[in-house]
Each structure stands twice: as C-alpha cells, then as structure tokens.
Amino acid sequence: MPNIKRQVLWATLVLIFLLTVFSVYGAFLGANRAQVFFNSIPLAICWSLFLVLLVAGGLVFQRLIRVPALLLIHTGCIAILIGGLWGSSKGQEIRKKVFKCDIIGSGYVMLYPGQQTSQIQVGEGKDMQIKNLPFVVAVDDFRIEHYNPGKLFIGVPGTENQWSMTADPNSQLDFGNKFGAVKVVRFFENLQITKKLFITVPGTPQEWSMSVAPNTQLDLGETLGSVKVLRAFKNFRITVGGEGGSQAYEAPGPGTNAALEILLIPPRGEQPTKHYIFEMRAGHANKDSPLSFEYKQATDNTGENLAYDDVGSGDNAAVELLVTAPSGGPATPRYVFEQQPSHAQQGSPLAFQYRRTISDYISDVKILKKTDDKKAVTQKAVEVNHPLYYGGYHFYQSSYGQDPRGSGQMYTVLSVTNSTGLGWVFTGFLLMCLGIAWQCWVLDIRKVLRQEAL
Amino acid sequence: MDLKMTPQGYLIYTTMATYAVAFILTVSKKAKAGLQLFALGFVISIIAFVYRWIHVSHCPMQNLFEVFLTLAMLCYPISMLSRRFLKIAGHAGDMAIGMILLLPAGFVFHAEPLHLPPALQSPLFIPHVAVYMISYVIMFKATICAFSQLLNRRAEPGTLEPEKATYIIVCLGFPFLTLGLILGSVWGKMAWSDYWGWDPKELWSLASWLVYIGYFHARYMFGQKHAKLNSILAITGMVFIIITLLWVNLSRMFSGLHNYAN
C-alpha cells in the first residue's frame, strides 16, 4: 500500500478511535453538557477534520469513487457532517456573524387556548430573549388524553399493605374478614351528576322537577303556565351591550358557572319571558312570578346521585366501587375520583386512589399570516410524534401547565425548531444506508463466499 | 430475583428448558434431535411473544423484559439463515445465546404490563427497535465466532473458519445496526425536535457503531494479518452494545430521554 494511502488510513483509524472515546465521555456528561462539549471549538475542529479526511479518502483511494456502494457511504457521511455543522448551534453563530442575519435556532411559545402570538422565547435564564417569528401562532384548544380504565390502588393507611388492580368493570379483590372486599362497578372518563331544574311555589306543597335537555317543556297548571328549557350552560358568560343587546354564551375552560336559559310561558296567552337560572344561586326568576327555581344535582329514589359519563367535555375521571366491610353485610357503593386524594370508607380500613396513564397531549395549532386579515395558512392537531411544519420551522408539543392564578385553565408549551441543514442530514442518512446495505450484504458477503468456493 | 408464576413465565421457562436440552443434545453429537428441539423452542418463544403482545395490547418491545423476550425469539431464524446461506456453523452457540437472553426476562426484569407513553406511539417504534434487536443478536453471534478465533478453534467441515465467519456475520448485522441508528435519529426529529440529542443512549449506540466502523477499516488495512485484533474489535463492539442496551437503562449514571425502557 503506498505511503499516502497508509497515512490517510491511519489518520482515519485514529479519528474513529477519538470519536469513539469522545462519545463515551459525552455519555458520562449527560445530554446537556455533552451538547456543549460536542459544539465546542476543539470538537468543531475534530468534526471538520473528519470532513476533510473523508474528502481526502475519496482523492487518495480511487476505490471510494469507483465502487458505487463505497461512494454512497462516504458521500452520505459528508452530507451528514455538512448538514450537522450547518445546523448546529456553533454553525448558526458563525452564520449570524458572517451573513449578519438574525437566525432563530430553537425556542418556546407558551399559549392558553384561544390565544395567539408571534413572539418566541429563545434561550433560558440570563440568556433568555424574546424574538419575533415571521408569522402568528394560534392555539385553539389543548387537551390531555388518557388510557381508560386506569388503575385502582388500594392500601391500608398505617400499614404496608398495598394492592392494585386495573379498574375493569366487575374485577374484584377479596381480602376476607381482614379488610373486606372491593368490586369495580364501572369507570368514568368524566363523571357528571345529572342535574335537574326543581320548581317550587314557596309556602305551598307544590313542587316539580324537570329535565334540562333543550326544548323540554313542563306544564305547571292553568294558573302558573309552563316552563321551557332553551339552553344549558356549563360555564355561563354574557356579553354586555353591543349590537343586538347582551348575548349569553358558553365560555371555554372548566365548567364553573352552570346555568340554564329558560322561557317562562304565563297562562292566558301573555308574552313569554326569558330568564337565567344559576346553579350557584337558587331563587325566583323574577319578582312578579310566584315560582322559585333551583338548578341542582338530582338524586334517584334511594337518595343516590345519578352519575353518568360525559365523555369529551371534561376530565373528572372516577371509578364506582362496591365496598364490603370486613364484618360482612351489604356492599356499599363508593366513588373514587382521580383528582381527589383518597380517604377511607366508614367501616372499612381501606383507602383508595385512582390513577390513569396519559396517552397523548394534543394542541390544535393554527399558523396565521401577519397581515391585517390574519388569514390561516395551515393548521394541525400537534401531538407528540406529530409536529407541524411551516416556513422552515417545526412545532412540537413540548409541555403544559395550569394557570398559576387558579382559574384551572391549562396552557400549552410548543417547542419551535429551525430545521436548517435537515435536508442534508436526511439525504446523507439515505445514501449511507443504501451504501452500507449494498456493500455489506451484496459485495462483502459475496466476495468471502466466492473465495471460499474457490 | 423475579420468578414469574404466570402463563407468560411458564412459556419463558419452557423455552429456556427446550433450548437447554437442545444445546446438550447438540454438544453430545445428536445434532438432528438438537435442531428439532431448537425449532420447538422457537415455536414456544413465538407463542410467548404473541401472548405478551395480546396481554399488553402493543408490540412487546417497550421495556427490557419485552426486549429480551424478542431477542431470544430471533436466535433460531438468524442461526438457520446463517447456516443455510453464509456457511456459518455454531447452532450450539445459538441455542446457548437463546437461553442466556431469556435469563433476564425470566428472572430479573418485572413483567408488569405498561401502556405505551405518548413518545413511543410512533410508526417508527417497531422498525427502530426491531432492527436493533436483529443486529444485536447477529453481533452476539459474531462475538462467539470472534472468541472461537481467539481460542484457535477449527471450523467444522464445509463451514467458514472463525475469522472469516466473524467478518461475514458483522457484515450481515452492520446494516441493521446502521438502520437502527438512523431510524432512531429520524424518530428523534419527529418526537423530540432534534435528530440528535446527545442523550447517553444515543452516544453509546454511536460509540458501538464507530467500533464496527473501526473494525471494517482496520480489517481493510491489515486484512487477516492481525486476526486477533479483528476479533478483539468485534468483541469490543458487543461490549459497547451490552452497555447501550443495559447499563444506560439500569444505571443512574446515564439519565436521559431513553429512560422509559427501564
């Protein structure tokens, strides 16, 4: 082997050895410090040397050009290194200085559902800066989805006794005379108690209750007329003034202000009047009417609440159990809520906790033009593994949190990454992969087997 | 020790016992019976794999218990293909590998079923892990050949001598190893916003890949002149793979994005 070839090969072996050692060293540093290490000046020189050596290899070893598989592998490596260096934080710093342009490498956008912004937070801590994207990012909705049913954890406070079971209906655990027994009746993704409208005439024994489904009407007799439900709100809000007067509407966020819009239809053909009945404030709809209204949770004949699963409109996960006390006797129903700490049942030593695993985080993201009409140019339900791509940037579902002021509203954090150099890297991956498969599976294996056959 | 008195556990222990008897028969020169039992062990390992898939409702490659279950299932087809197409001996070694790979699944790692976290719900989950599993079993086989070379063992008639066998098996496994790394990188871009995150597991897998790159360049440079060096490099690659697969997940020294595999 001529001297120059030998030297290039030796240099290659030394560089491969060095990169292996650096990789192992980086693994001990942890991701953040490793990133800084591999973006440092000495390592940038090392990567560049690698690039030079690959090119030198091509010049010295004709075989690397002549054999297509080897050409693919080494060209692929060159493309990956170019893309990597170009897109790296060091590469971006150099580009900023040389081309005098303001590049946003990566950053974060934090938004509550219904909000929009073009501002992006770049860097952290002392280096944190606010920059402007060339478009507007809007979030319509953010939600967390879970696997259902979750797991029920059962413990005996003060002891080390602990059990767990998947909350599949009819699954049960029997602890005999020691702790009794637990059986799962059903699970709820969003437990709600059926609410009804209760109507009374104070001072008289007259009382009625009616369903709150829209357009339900109840006749209260000849002297009182009838009541008709128009709309039911989970979170009632009203606009004040404006064209067409005040408008009631359903506000986003958790249901904290349940209300009903009803129509009081007086007897004898008088004009019906519209009223609002609030869960939080029972009483007369208007001072002229003898009727008193209460919008509240309904119970069945035995006094039990009427629970139902209102899937999709909230997140009040719960499981309904039948708990038998250690002393025996009839099993008593009991609800365990995910969002509340468990507490022991009277007569039973057991404490419960219900937990579900998160299956997905989803933000409905829209990209709008910065022009006055704010026209939407693209939109996507951004979830883990499904980023949105627009204008050279990828938007990822990154994190979330709850309003620190206690409104209960959730916000989403989207991470935004500039994808410069990605094309080079992925093209390099493809070339390298094809080349390696060709070289190893076709050429090398065939060569050895052919030699053996001879 | 985590003994599993469940149908899943019984399937694992039966596979292990079958592989063990197959190994004993093969080394006692009853090769045909050994091979038949090896095939039976493979069938039971497939049942164990499918049972797990149904039990957890997703492809069982999420945690180390499932990974070892998958690895052990791959031994038989890789052994057969190597013999048939690459003239590589060593069924007994493959049976031993199968048995060794089931030890962690049978006695060490917990088998509690887990839901797939959002990051793992990707079309790249199965290909990324599967090609890595295939490459690991192949490289394990290459390591056994490399040890045979270091111990100056002779090849069976009609099969390749250990140094060449090591090389040819590394050639078989390396494209899978590369594809695993690249699919992981593409997945990283889709899930974590970057195709390379300098995570400890990523860096150890890059280091293993670089060791094999070193092996190819060294073997090109020196040929079979330093056969022992070639074998040592192939074994080093496997050591790095074991660290990538196990140490990174089991040691707190390397906390990172791949921790869910715990």
**Mean of pLDDT values over A375-391:** 93
B104 closest CA partner among B131, B132, B65, B141: B65
B14 lies within 8 A of chain A by CB = no
Q: How far is CA A220 from each of CA A209, A232, B33, B239, rounded to the nearest angstrom? A: 11, 20, 89, 84
Question: Average pLDDT for residues B157-179, to the nearest whole number?
Answer: 93
Q: Name the pTM for this structure.
A: 0.85
pLDDT for B10 beyond 70:
yes
Closest-CA residue of chain A to B199: A31
Inspect the interface and report whether the beta carbons of B115 and A84 lie closer than 8 Å: no
- What is the least distance, in Å, from the CA of B3 to any CA of chain A? 19
Residue written as token pair 């410069």: A420
DSSP letter at A342 equals -
Q: Tell me the nearest-neighbour CA distance from A354 into chain B, angstroms.
A: 16
Give the pLDDT mean for A161-180: 87
Q: What is the pLDDT of residue B262?
A: 47
**Among A173-177, A260-264, B32-36, B250-254, where is mean pLDDT lowest?**
B250-254
Q: Which residues of A touch B217 (CB under 8 A)?
A: 9, 12-13, 16
Q: Which residues of B touch A386 (CB under 8 A)?
A: 190
Kindly state the average pLDDT of the residues A13-33. Answer: 93
Segment among A89-98, A438-447, B105-114, B160-169 with least mean pLDDT: A89-98
Q: What is the pLDDT of residue B232?
A: 97
C-beta atoms of A359 and B178 within 8 A: no
For B180, name the nearest residue in chain A, comparing CA atoms only. A433
Given this model, what pLDDT does residue A311 score? 84
What is the percentage of chain B residues whose pLDDT exceeds 70?
96
Q: If you average pLDDT over every residue of chain A, what do you get?
A: 88
pLDDT for A285 equals 63
With a threshold of 0.90, tell me whether the complex ipTM lies above it: yes
Chain B nearest-CA distance from A112, in A, is: 21
3-state secondary structure of A309: strand
CB < 8 Å from A in window 187-246 of B: 187, 189-201, 203-204, 206-207, 210-211, 213-214, 217-218, 220-221
Chain B residues within 8 A of A35 when measuring between CB atoms: 197-198
Q: pLDDT by residue (tens digit) across B242-262?
A: 999 987 777 766 666 666 554
Subunit contact A429:B185, Cβ cutoff 8 A: yes
Q: How many helices (H) and strands (E) does chain A have?
A: 9, 27
List all residues of chain B from 64 to 123 with a beta carbon under 8 Å from chain A.
86-87, 114-119, 121-122
Q: Which of residues 48-67 of B touch A (CB under 8 A)?
A: none
Cβ <8 Å between B204 and A445: no
Residue B120 in this model has a pLDDT that exceeds 60: yes
Whether the predicted pLDDT of A94 surpasses 80? yes
Taking CA–CA distances from B189, the nearest residue in chain A reads A385
**Residue A360 binned pLDDT confidence (cut-offs 50, 70, 90):** very high
pLDDT at A439 over 70: yes
Residue A284 in this model has a pLDDT that exceeds 70: no
Strand (E) or helix (H) holding A358 = strand A358-368
Find the mean pLDDT for residues A272-286. 81
Q: Stretch A286-303: mean pLDDT, rounded?
A: 78
In sequence order, which ranges of A61-128 are alpha helices (DSSP H)?
A: 63-66, 68-87, 89-99
**How far is Cα of residue A365 from the mean position of the Cα atoms in its chain?**
12
Instruction: Determine the average pLDDT of the residues in A329-350.
Output: 77
Q: Which pLDDT does position A106 carry in this prediction?
A: 87
Reading the block at residue A280, the tokens are 């939080």
**Closest B-chain CA to A452:** B160
Contact A298, A268 (CB under 8 A): no
- Give the pLDDT mean for A443-447: 89
Using alpha carbons, select from B146, B164, B162 the residue that is nearest to residue B237.
B146
Mutate to test the interface with A, among B156, B170, B195, B216 (most CBs of A within 10 A): B195
Of A24, A360, A437, the CB nearest to B207: A24
**Which chain B positions have a beta carbon within 8 Å of A425's beta carbon?**
195
Q: Sort out which chain B residues have CB atoms less than 8 A from A385's CB and list them.
A: 118-119, 121-122, 187, 190-191
Q: Which of A12, A23, A27 sits opposite B217 (nearest CB)?
A: A12
Our CA angle for B244, B245, B250, nearest 5°, is 95
Contact state of A359 with B118 under an 8 Å Cβ cutoff: yes
Do residues B14 and B43 touch, judged by C-beta distance below 8 A?
no
B172 has a chain A CB within 8 A of its CB: yes
Mean pLDDT of chain B: 92
Please name the member of A35, A384, A386 whose beta carbon is closest to the beta carbon of B198: A35
Going by C-beta distance under 8 Å and a sequence separation of 6 or more, which residues neighbour residue A293?
A: A197, A198, A199, A262, A277, A282, A283, A284, A285
State the DSSP string of B55-110: HHTS-S-SSHHHHHHHHHHHHHHHHHHHHHHH----HHHHHHHHHHHHHIIIIIS-
Q: What is the pLDDT at residue A1? A: 67
* Residue of A5, A19, A24 to mutate, testing the B interface (most B Cβ within 10 Å of its Cβ): A24
At residue A350, the pLDDT reads: 84
Mean pLDDT of A182-204: 90
Distance from CA of B223 to the nearest CA of A (A): 12
Name the token pair of A181. Answer: 């027994």
Chain A contact probe: residue of B56, B84, B203 with most A CBs at under 10 A: B203
Strand order, beta sheet including A151-155:
A162-166, A151-155, A351-355
Burial class, A379, CB count within 10 angstroms (exposed 0-12 / middle 13-18 / buried 19+)? middle
